[in-house]
Amino acid sequence: MSTTSDPIASGPLAGADRISLAVVGAHLRGQPLNHQLTDRGAELVATTRTSPRYRLYRLDGGPPLRPALERVEGCGKAIEVEVWSLDAAGFGQVVAGVAPPLGIGSVELEDGRWVKGFICETRGLADAPDITQHGSWRAYLSTLP
């Protein structure tokens, strides 16, 4: 396991031929899009949190319901994520299916390491409810009727 903090690296939690991908919502274990990872041979390598520099929002639309992660300065919180490891082909297939306003970028974990992960374009957050106080997508979902 590499301990690099280079945000461009394939990910400190994945092996040399694997890419780490942090997921925050519909791709989590037990959630409706998790099969998009497992069908491509992804392996769960960690359940952790982001650095305290993120906000979590609920996007309009669905199903499935989807969250959005935004990196901020000064007013963020650590958000629970799962880190999955995929080979390059599987990673490419997952990325190809990501619909706007979501995208794949670099996400900082609570220990300072960087991995690829789901992030959101600013335009997607315009009217999205801020659910950061829940600390995770699962905690937010548990509040819904």
Predicted confidence (pLDDT) per residue in 17-53, tens digit: 899 999 999 999 999 999 999 999 999 999 999 999 9
Q: Average pLDDT in the 129-137 region? A: 98
- Beta strands (DSSP E) in the chain are 19-23, 43-49, 54-58, 67-71, 80-86, 102-108, 114-120
Q: Average pLDDT in the 7-13 region? A: 43
pLDDT over 90 for what percent of the chain?
Answer: 86
Q: Give how far Cα 45 sits from Cα of 3, 4, 14, 92, 120, Å.
A: 14, 16, 8, 19, 23
Q: What is the pLDDT of residue 42?
A: 97
Q: What is the pLDDT of residue 4?
A: 35
Predicted confidence (pLDDT) at residue 134 exceeds the cutoff of 80: yes
How confident is residue 131, by pLDDT bands cut at 50, 70 and 90? very high
Residues 6+ positions from 5 with CB-CB distance below 8 Å: 12, 112, 113, 114
Domains of the chain are 19-140 (3.10.490.10)
Q: What is the pLDDT of residue 14?
A: 59
Residues 100, 121 contacting (CB under 8 angstroms)? yes
User: What is the Cβ-side half-sphere exposure of residue 87, based on CA atoms within 13 angstroms?
Assistant: 4
Predicted confidence (pLDDT) at residue 122 exceeds the cutoff of 90: yes
Nearest in space to 134 (alpha carbons), one of 144, 123, 145: 144
